[in-house]
Structure 1
Amino acid sequence: MKITSLINEDLIELELDASNQIEVIEHLASLLENQDRIDSKSDFIQGVLEREAQFTTGFGNGIAIPHCKSQTVKNASIVIGKMINGVDWKAMDDCEVSFIIMLAIPESEGGLTHLQILSTLSGNLIDEDFRTSLMSASDKQDVLCFLEDCLSEKSNS
């Protein structure tokens, strides 16, 4: 799995200023829209919010992994947002979220891509060193390198 097909520097915001979960999702969806990776920003946001209504994607340790599998998504994508201030995400550990990894998956790709990315990210985010390094990255290129290592290790094993 080539990370460059999923994310680039224009899909990373390291100083995201939003006051709530919906503003975060809207901002990150705008990045997808600007990259022409979704057909409809509003449909994508609705899909993410519907998924959130089922169960929180607040992973814990300050991280959320909102995701949407939809026909409005043109290309499988990862969007990163690092918050200036944390927001309430109803996370499993009741802590505010300050780092968001949003996944956008085309409906046509089935569940494999979606589950592979989600599983790989979740597995790596359990590792405190990986999580700390990723969340403290101050440069977009560093974020890309961490994700490249994370996703390429899994696909090569």
Structure 2
Amino acid sequence: MSKNYYTIEELTLQLGREKRSVEKQVSRGHIPGRRVSGEWRFNKTEITDWLEREMASFNESDLAVLERSQKSTEVSTQSVISSLLHPDLIEVPLDAGTKPSVLKKLVEVAGRTWQVFDSSAVFQAVRQREDFASTGFNGGVAIPHPQNRMPEALGESLIAFGRTVSGIPFGGPNRQLTDLFFLVLARDPNTHLKALARLGRLFQVDGFLEDLRHAETSADSYDVITAADANLGE
């Protein structure tokens, strides 16, 4: 059985940072952890939750380091976006006008791949995560996802995308309306964080979000995403 914590050395590799820098953040209480028999232990779920909160303030360089440090068995030479997002996982326009209906529609889109074994459980998990804290970002974009990984409910990790005709209240910063939604369903924490970091980098590319808003069809949206992803490089 795999352990549910990182050592300080493992956390350093997970974050892609120098050990001295990580130790300083831990000692100042900036990274959640606890001492067990004199050794630092970091709960994996708590670290993932902490990273999700911190990522909103990461610059492109920080996100690139985090992305590269995540060793995913489901992503090889391709970027995580190219590996997990396929043309049939995009719905533009997304016929939804409330947060629950957006989440339900996105899970339905994800189910087209036949890799979602329990759509009801996935929907409930994604909705519970939104009840805990919104996944909305600046710029009218959100990355809904379950709080915990769900390997038993998924055959493969995947990303689904939808754009509503107009923005809806989704709990974004400063009450911004949201119209761009990337649903991330991952079977393991590394793939999950790798996807979030990559998407965060794309959101910082000049013109990317507006290009998505101008894409009229699902096929056009897929082309915008994959082109920006290819140009981003590693």
TM-score above 0.5? yes
For residues 20-35 of structure 1, what are the structure 2 equivalents within 5 Å? 20-35=98-113
Post-superposition Cα deviations, 1:76-130, rounded to whole Å, max 9, x if no partner, equal 1111111023211011131111111111111xxx322111111111122123412
Could you list the structure 1 runs, at least 4 aligned residues long, displaced by more than 2 angstroms after superposition.
Answer: 1-5, 139-154
Hey, what's the Cα distance between the residues in 2 that align with 1:32 and 1:41?
9
**Matching residue of 1:81:** 162
Match status 1:143 vs 2:224: no
- Which of 67, 70, 75 is the aligned partner of 2:150? 70
Among all aligned residue pairs of Structure 1 and Structure 2, give the percentage whose two residues are the same amino acid.
Answer: 24
Q: Give unmatched runs, 5+ long, in structure 1.
A: none
CA contact (8 A) 2:89 2:159 kept: yes
- Which of 182, 193, 200 is the aligned partner of 1:122? 200
Higher relative contact order (CA 8 A, sep 6+): 1
**Matching residue of 2:171:** 90
Question: Alpha carbons of 1:115 and 1:149: their partners in 2 closer, same or farther (altered >3 Å)?
Answer: farther
Question: Alpha carbons of 1:124 and 1:84: their partners in 2 closer, same or farther (altered >3 Å)?
Answer: same
* Shift of residue 10, structure 1, vs aligned partner: 1.8
AA in 1 matched with 2:134: T
Question: Alpha carbons of 1:21 and 1:39: their partners in 2 closer, same or farther (altered >3 Å)?
Answer: same
* Shift of residue 46, structure 1, vs aligned partner: 1.2
Query: For the aligned residues, what is the CA RMSD?
Result: 1.9
* Shift of residue 152, structure 1, vs aligned partner: 4.4
Query: What is the aligned residue count?
Result: 153
Greater Rg over alpha carbons, structure: 2
**Matching residue of 1:133:** 211
* Shift of residue 4, structure 1, vs aligned partner: 4.8
AA in 1 matched with 2:120: S
For residues 44-55 of structure 1, what are the structure 2 equivalents within 5 Å? 44-55=122-133
Q: Give unmatched runs, 5+ long, in structure 2.
A: 1-77
Hey, what's the Cα distance between the residues in 2 that align with 1:146 and 1:115?
22
Structure (1 or 2) with the greater strand fraction: 1
Q: TM-score, normalised by structure 1?
A: 0.85
Hey, what's the Cα distance between the residues in 2 that align with 1:94 and 1:61?
11
CA contact (8 A) 1:15 1:83 kept: yes
